[in-house]
With several copies, the nearest count.
Chain A
Amino acid sequence: MDSSLILQNVLTPPVLFFFLGTIAVLVKSDLEIPAPLPKLFSLYLLLAIGFKGGLELQKSGLYGQVLPTVSSAVLMSLIIPLLCFVILRIKFDVFNSAAIAAAYGSISAVTFITAESFLENQGIPFDGFMVAALALMESPAIIVGLLLVKLGANKTRPGSSQIRLRGILHEAMLNGSAYLLLGSLLIGFITAAHNPSAIAKMQPFTGNLFYGAECFFLLDMGIVAAQRLPSLKKTGSFLIGFAIAMPIINAFLGVLVARALTLSPGNALLFVVLCASASYLAVPAAMRMTVPEAKSSYYISTTLGLTFPFNIVFGIPVYMGLVNKLIPIAN
């Protein structure tokens, strides 16, 4: 059953375009999407997903499952990096362990988007408020990561003075992608409340165009992920194993929490995907600034080159199978 889900997932346009990008690199095609075009699509996707989430959050209100789900999501993004950190410390120093742990505690918006497309394709409903969980799970892991460095590292490191609590909060909340996602969510919320006629006018841009833009971006992500593969050799097998095993562990934890929250299958999958995905936007930007001692190739190559493709191709359908097995259908 899982293998049929995997096949169904692989045969959707977003995943097919992801493969098209990957194969381009493997067969040495000179296909490239030059900067800053990936940035355009990445900004667009964050803006659109945030805006749409805001609209639906306003419709659903903050009642029912919304607050418990969102708080549990935030909690997960505090616990997961601690767990990762403990595991990573077996092989890595404090700096690298904290940076990688923060990446895996945080989320990948594009993985979330692909999971939404998967659900739509399967005809499984899900709620708009899950975008709020997405937006709020981006930052906490950064805070945990930086606190771990502050506590664990030698006090006399040259940059230690820079990691003040204010600086940590700044890096966590105000990096471009978290800020745009949260801001667009808020604008969507306000628009739905005060200006419902504007929703229809935004729809062609933030709604109709979304699926195609997602495909275009995944084409680029396929290229980028495949380009990262060679540098994975240098990261060693421990980290390679971590980049595949950790998402599965996190997904398992996520399913248990989703079950406790009695989430619908659709919401449960999105919750699980948030736990299982790792950040390659917000976290690397923050870590580069505050923990330059950590090797950026470690946290970028694993998240982009392994965890992201794994989740997109296998993870989502496998987690769906897990959800179907472990969560009794309520309604």
Chain B
Amino acid sequence: MKRLDLIFSERELQSVIIALEKCGATGYSVTKHVTGKGPNSLVSEDMEFTGLGTNAHVIIFCDDSLIEKLKPILDPILNYYGGVAYVSEATPL
């Protein structure tokens, strides 16, 4: 099975979750309050009170097939708003 890690602004969390559910993901986990830096952005803790918001880290353990379905939906969101998505191998305990 696969593990998909998504890190992007929490402002897009809602649309990413809708995308996940539309593609039939059975589960996902979300960690908020993630800060960081990317080629286009610096996200710091003080952005939380300004309303800009910090990042969310979404982890999805799923079959390879879901990854294929998610790619065309997530790519445009992450390209337009920023964020990263990486896939690795994972096996259930």
Interface string of B25-46 (1 = CB under 8 A from A): 0000000010000000110111
B50 at interface by CB-CB < 8 Å: yes
Majority DSSP secondary structure for residues of B touching A = mixed
B11 at interface by CB-CB < 8 Å: yes
Most chain A CB inside 10 Å of its own CB: which residue of B52, B80, B81: B52
CB contact under 8 A between A288 and B48, given known A158-B80, A159-B80, A297-B42: no
A225 to B49, CA, bound (A): 13
Contacting residues of chain A (39-68) with chain B, CB-CB under 8 angstroms: 39, 42
A42 to B47, CA, bound (A): 13
Q: How large is the interface on A (under 10, 10 to 19, 20 to 34, 35 or more residues)?
A: 20 to 34
A42: contacting residue among B49, B53, B80, B82, CB under 8 A: B49
A159 to B9, CA, bound (A): 16
B92 at interface by CB-CB < 8 Å: no
Give the Cβ gap from B19 to chain A, nearest Cβ, in Å: 16
Contacting residues of chain A (274-288) with chain B, CB-CB under 8 angstroms: 280-282, 284-285, 288
Is the CB–CB distance between A35 and B80 below 8 Å?
no
A282 to B80, CA, bound (A): 22
A284: contacting residue among B45, B50, B81, CB under 8 A: B50
A176 at interface by CB-CB < 8 Å: yes
Contacts of B41 in A (CB 8 A): 296
For residue B45, which residue of chain A has the nearest CB? A35
CB contact under 8 A between A292 and B81, given known A224-B46, A227-B46: yes
Interface string of B47-62 (1 = CB under 8 A from A): 1111111100000000
Is the CB–CB distance between A284 and B51 below 8 Å?
yes
Contacts of B47 in A (CB 8 A): 300
Contacts of B76 in A (CB 8 A): 158
A177 at interface by CB-CB < 8 Å: yes
Contacts of A292 in B (CB 8 A): 80-82
Is the CB–CB distance between B51 and A30 below 8 Å?
yes
Give the Cβ gap from A39 to chain B, nearest Cβ, in Å: 4
CB contact under 8 A between A231 and B42, given known A35-B33, A288-B9, A292-B80: yes
Contacting residues of chain A (1-53) with chain B, CB-CB under 8 angstroms: 30, 34-36, 38-39, 42
Give the Cβ gap from A172 to chain B, nearest Cβ, in Å: 13
Chain B residues engaging chain A, CB cutoff 8 angstroms: 9, 11, 33, 41-42, 44-54, 76, 80-82
The 9 closest A-B pairs by CB, nearest first: A285-B51, A38-B49, A39-B49, A35-B48, A224-B46, A284-B52, A42-B49, A292-B81, A35-B45
| Beyond A158-B76, A292-B82, 9 additional pairs, beta carbon < 8 A | A35-B54, A36-B48, A159-B80, A281-B49, A285-B51, A288-B11, A292-B81, A296-B52, A304-B50
